[in-house]
Amino acid sequence: MLSGAMLITTAVAVYYNEKSFWSYLISALITVSVGYFLVYKGRHEFSLIKRHLFLLTACCWLAICLFSTLPFVLVLPDLTYVDAVFETVSAITTTGATVLTGLDTMPRGLLFWRAILQWIGGVGIIVMAIAILPALKIGGMKLFKTENSDISEKILPRSSSLSMYIGVVYLILSVSCMLLYFLGGMSGFDAITHGMATVSTGGFANYDASFGHFNDRPHLLWISSVFMLLSALPLVLLVGTLRGHKWILFRDPQVRAFLAIVLFCALLLTWYQHEHNARPWMDALTHSVFNVVSVITTCGFASENYSAWGGLAVILFFYITFSGACSGSTSGGLKIFRTQLAGLLLIKQFKLLVHPNAVWVQKYGTKPVNDQLLGSVLAFCFVYFASIAALALGLSMFDLDFVTALTGAATAISNVGPGLGPVIGPDGNFSSLPDGAKWLISFGMILGRLEILTILLLFTPMYWRY
């Protein structure tokens, strides 16, 4: 486990050094020294028990967030500390909600720093999702414990080399995305930074208009949609595909449901925009697909202010803010498989209502689903929505209006990025919120990124008792 933390810290340090500004260098030196200290200390802690992983994971993320604020503080002296923290947390958690305005004229080093943070955050999440969370059995993650599954042995490499394969796939995705962006007409700098923001489903753009800056070249929107979709698929299955098992992706129930939902929402909105806003079919299709994909993969690019598309669009975007994409990817949110398992429970209850004494085995894909697993998934859903509700209540304390508080909480915990409504909607910005609200949202982003329970557990007396 510590090797994961090491890897991240090292990667961060390497990238720090790539910058030519002295401020990045100072940050890098501080980070490297602390990172070295951490690793050194880690050597003595090989006897880690599972329980400590929760604390360690949380601490690592917190530490990385804190150190990564340094460049923001050093480069933009006018930025308040809360804004720097907000922006960093937003990047690291791949949320992509920004408090900065005037991005178009921002120093390029800082824009690059934002992009690289997202990209590293993306790596961190995948490592966590594959290595740590299944071991912790959070919210049904056990289902993805790679050692347990029957198919994985045939299709996937051993666990030890799996993370390497996944790293390679992540890299291939990133590079090909950047390349296609570049060929599609972006400048080299834009191609690299937006490529990182796309593949990590971070969603920071270099422009105040977000991806809308490229609206005159619709093929860029389509390239982006494809790569957002790819990044939101389980990377483990992409590895399997690359190793020659072509249909493994489409045999996965989660992927099938995900693609079906995307298709349904995009087509519904296309129709709605054509009927309701009288847009030409092709134009409506491009922007519907792009923004639906962007929100559901929790990437959070926006090509337009979809808040203004009309009632149906707003509700639909609100829902897909929660849904999230596939587990084992960089996307946030509830994740599709949890909804599916909740649906399974419902079917079971219906069956029990009609045939009270029947007994049967429930399956998800090819894996049997027991009550324990269902319980853990539903507990997760419960705590997920409860967290959003609590966060929205907290935000409303700062006199935010109903829509801002509710969608702000949802977008933070799902790591999507933009909310809805005039304040924090796709054409809005988080900069006008009061400081307290920014702290709350930052906390919410970390909460959501670490699958909530990791953090909440640390606040229970039970955890500290023995």
> Is 85 annotated as a binding-site member?
no
Residue span binding K ion (CB under 5 A) among the ranges 91-99, 104-112, 134-142, 143-151: 91-99
Q: Is 140 in the site for K ion (CB under 5 A)?
A: no
Contact between 71 and K ion by CB under 5 A: the answer reads: no
Closest approach, Cβ 401 to a second copy, in A, equals 6
Cα 64 from Cα 282, distance rounded (Å): 43
Q: Is 416 annotated as a binding residue?
A: yes
Amino acid at 100: L
- 94 annotated ligand-binding residue: yes
Q: Tokens 């994985």, residue?
A: 152
| Angle, CA of 254, 260 and 265, to the nearest 5° | 125
Residue 407 is assigned to a ligand binding site: no
d(CA 341, CA 372): 12
Q: Return the residue matching tokens 């299955």.
A: 237
DSSP annotation of 267 reads H
Q: Which is nearer to a second copy, 230 or 437 (CB)?
A: 437
3 binds, among K ion, a second copy, none (CB under 5 to 8 A by kind): none
Could you tell me the two tokens for 8? 């991240």
Buried b (16+ CB within 10 A) or exposed e, 167-206: eebbeebbeebbebbbebebeeebbbbbbbbbbbbbbbbb
Note the residues at the interface with a second copy (CB under 8 A): 50-51, 54, 136-138, 276, 310-312, 314-316, 318-319, 342-343, 345-346, 348-354, 356, 371-372, 374-376, 378-383, 385, 389, 392-393, 395-403, 405-406, 420-421, 453, 457, 460, 462-463
Which is closer to a second copy, CB of 278 or CB of 353?
Answer: 353
- 270 assigned binding-site residue: no
Residue 122 interacts with K ion (CB under 5 A)?
A: no
As a residue count, the chain comes to 466
Measured between alpha carbons, how far is 331 from 231 in angstroms, rounded to an integer? Answer: 8
**Which of K ion, a second copy, none sits in contact with 203, Cβ below 5 to 8 A by type?**
K ion
Phi (first) and psi of residue 17, to 5 degrees: -70, -20
Position 156: which residue type?
Answer: L
Q: Which does 284 bind (CB under 5 to 8 A by kind): a second copy, K ion, none?
A: none
Q: Would you say 104 or 147 has its CB closer to a second copy? A: 147
CB of 359 to a second copy, least distance (A): 12
- Binding residues for K(+) are 94-95, 202, 298, 415-416
Q: Which residues are annotated as a binding site?
A: 94-95, 202, 298, 415-416
